[in-house]
Amino acid sequence: MTDQPDKSAFLTDVETLRARAKASLEDGAVTAMYKGDADKTIELLQTVVATELVCVLRYQMHAIAAEGITSESVSAEFEEHAKSEHEHMLLAANRIDQLGGIPNLDPEGLASRSATEYGKGGNLIEMIKQNLIAERLVIEHYQELIRYFGQDDPTTRIMLEHILADEEDHASDMHDLLVAHEGKPFLS
């Protein structure tokens, strides 16, 4: 027979939970059990909001500017990614609101708050490369943020894990488009 830890020792009694819930109502979703630093989390998520907005704008510009024999399918892919990046921005903005902050959607300074670059357009291959670079950058950035939040803020961590999975799909899509348009074999 193994000694099992008493799991009830980890649970707070209902009366204590009720008392905590009634205290500090002005803090909204941020309770006494929140282990993160709400101000720091908001600051970091402002970068996510800006990054995702820049990605929306870049993908949308590329969807409009795409030209060439296969541009219709690539443009549709860019458009789909723009919508996905918009959803990511809304997730981060709503999390900022939950933590008592105001999401910074001000276009002034957007590029300097973003982890990614807007891009320059160019031919189809150049646009695909710009998007692949941006996706690879945000993958690393979001992996770092996920490690930072760890168990201190599981809600923000889980949200970022969801976004990260999408960004990895986007990077894979851009890689596949690059391989297809450069005529290089996918596997060596």
pLDDT at position 82 over 80? yes
pTM (two decimals): 0.85
Q: What ranges in 66-183 are assigned the alpha helix state H?
A: 71-98, 110-113, 124-149, 154-182
pLDDT at position 21 over 90? no
**pLDDT value at residue 13:** 80
Residue 10 confidence class, pLDDT cut points 50, 70, 90: low
The fraction of the chain above a pLDDT of 90, given in percent, is 69
pLDDT tens sequence across 43-79: 999 999 999 999 999 999 999 998 877 788 899 999 9
**pLDDT value at residue 9:** 67
Tell whether the torsion through CA atoms of 109, 115, 120 and 121 is positive or negative: negative
User: H/E element holding 49?
Assistant: helix 38-65
Domain limits of the chain? 35-182
> Please, what CATH class does the domain formed by 35-182 belong to?
mainly alpha
Distance CA 153, CA 37 (A): 9
